[in-house]
């Protein structure tokens, strides 16, 4: 039996590392808002479409996805509504406002999740290279285990380093994985994990899986590779473009959204 899925797409981050990096992205002037500077990474043009919109389209194409919440910063509301409002209306996406930290953003969005939702997927807007196949695998794993995330085995040599930038030791990487998104959980489990946040005040929260782990619950992984890249710096844009270009162009099924030709 198919489970009803709600998706929270986190797009409220300040993109400080992206905006603070020197150089320019391959998007050129279309990635510069009228007030100057670079547009935030989640709104940057990537091969003809906004980074965040690529994930919206993938989730919206699924019959089991009953709700999509796009969590943005209040300061970006005008930009999002003016530039992508038609797309978001077509895909039945509801805009909500996030917080200063990622966990605050998810916490606010959780309050808007419908009562008939079985699974909640939390996805970083900057992970624009996620595939429909990976989304399907993580949903299946979450439906079976209650919680699942995509994760990539660490291939690089990892060093623990002091504040003075000297090495303390080399870390054994044999059981190390890099967590990715979408991270998907039973709705009641994720809500319970967020309710437990008050007991984790001294912890640095880096993802939703960490909150579920803090409850003593097991989280399954779906092993994937590094192509599910997260845009963090401007130099990641051409890498993401190369990844997307290397994949077969998908054929749209059913109705297509407004401006679809321009998006490709």
What's the pLDDT tens digit per position in 220-235?
999 999 999 999 999 9
pLDDT beyond 50 at 66: yes
Distance, CA of 15 to CA of 25 (rounded, Å):
14
**Number of compact structural domains in the chain:** 1
Distance, CA of 139 to CA of 121 (rounded, Å):
8
Domain for residue 176, yes or no?
A: no
Domain for residue 245, yes or no?
A: yes
Q: Residue 41 has which token pair?
A: 């990474």
Give the pLDDT confidence score for residue 26 in this predicted structure: 42
Distance, CA of 42 to CA of 125 (rounded, Å):
6
pLDDT beyond 60 at 27: no
- What confidence tier does 1 reach under pLDDT thresholds 50, 70, 90? confident
C-alpha torsion 262→75→209→53, nearest 10: -10
C-alpha torsion 59→62→65→68, nearest 10: 30
pLDDT beyond 90 at 208: yes
Q: At what angle do helices 51-60 and 132-145 cross, to 10 degrees?
A: 60
CATH of the domain at 14: 3.90.550.10
Distance, CA of 27 to CA of 44 (rounded, Å):
7
- pTM recorded for the entire structure: 0.86
DSSP letter string, 194-212? HHGGGG-TTS----HHHHH
Distance, CA of 109 to CA of 105 (rounded, Å):
6
Domain for residue 162, yes or no?
A: no
- What confidence tier does 18 reach under pLDDT thresholds 50, 70, 90? low
Give the pLDDT confidence score for residue 38 in this predicted structure: 63
Q: Residue 234 has which token pair?
A: 């401007």
Domain for residue 129, yes or no?
A: yes
Q: Whole domain around residue 44: which residue ranges?
A: 5-151+181-263
Give the residue-averaged pLDDT of 112-136: 97
Domain for residue 156, yes or no?
A: no
pLDDT beyond 60 at 17: no
Identify which of 175, 174, 173, 177 has the alpha carbon closest to the alpha carbon of residue 225. 177
Domain for residue 171, yes or no?
A: no
- What confidence tier does 263 reach under pLDDT thresholds 50, 70, 90? very low
Distance, CA of 193 to CA of 173 (rounded, Å):
28
Domain for residue 157, yes or no?
A: no
Q: Residue 212 has which token pair?
A: 């579920």
Condensed to tens digits (0 to 9), the pLDDT of residues 119-129 reads 999 999 999 99
pLDDT beyond 50 at 30: yes
- Strand ranges, E, within the chain: 5-11, 45-46, 49-50, 65-72, 93-97, 119-124, 147-153, 158-161, 167-171, 177-179, 183-186, 220-223
Domain for residue 167, yes or no?
A: no
């Amino acid at each position: 039996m198919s489970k009803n899925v709600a998706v929270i797409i986190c797009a409220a981050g300040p993109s400080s590392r992206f905006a603070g990096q020197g150089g320019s992205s391959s998007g050129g002037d279309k990635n510069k808002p009228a007030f100057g500077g670079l547009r935030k990474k989640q709104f940057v043009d990537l091969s003809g479409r906004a980074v965040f919109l690529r994930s919206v389209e993938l989730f919206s194409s699924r019959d089991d996805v009953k709700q999509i919440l796009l969590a943005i910063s209040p300061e970006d509301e005008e930009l999002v509504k003016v530039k992508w409002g038609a797309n978001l209306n077509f895909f039945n996406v509801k805009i909500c406002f996030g917080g200063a930290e990622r966990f605050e953003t998810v916490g606010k969005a959780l309050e808007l999740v419908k009562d008939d939702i079985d699974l909640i997927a939390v996805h970083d807007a900057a992970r624009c290279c996620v595939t429909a196949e990976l989304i399907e695998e993580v949903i299946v794993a979450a439906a079976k285990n209650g919680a699942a995330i995509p994760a990539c085995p660490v291939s690089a040599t990892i060093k623990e380093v002091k504040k003075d930038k000297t090495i303390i030791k080399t870390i054994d990487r044999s059981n190390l994985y890099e967590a990715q998104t979408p991270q998907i959980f039973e709705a009641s489990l994720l809500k319970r994990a967020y309710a437990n946040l008050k007991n984790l005040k001294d912890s640095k929260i880096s993802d939703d899986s960490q909150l579920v782990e803090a409850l003593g619950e097991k989280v399954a992984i779906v092993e994937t590779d590094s192509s599910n890249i997260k845009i963090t710096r401007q130099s990641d844009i051409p890498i993401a473009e190369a990844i997307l270009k290397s994949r077969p162009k998908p054929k749209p099924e059913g109705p297509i959204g407004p401006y679809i030709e321009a998006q490709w």
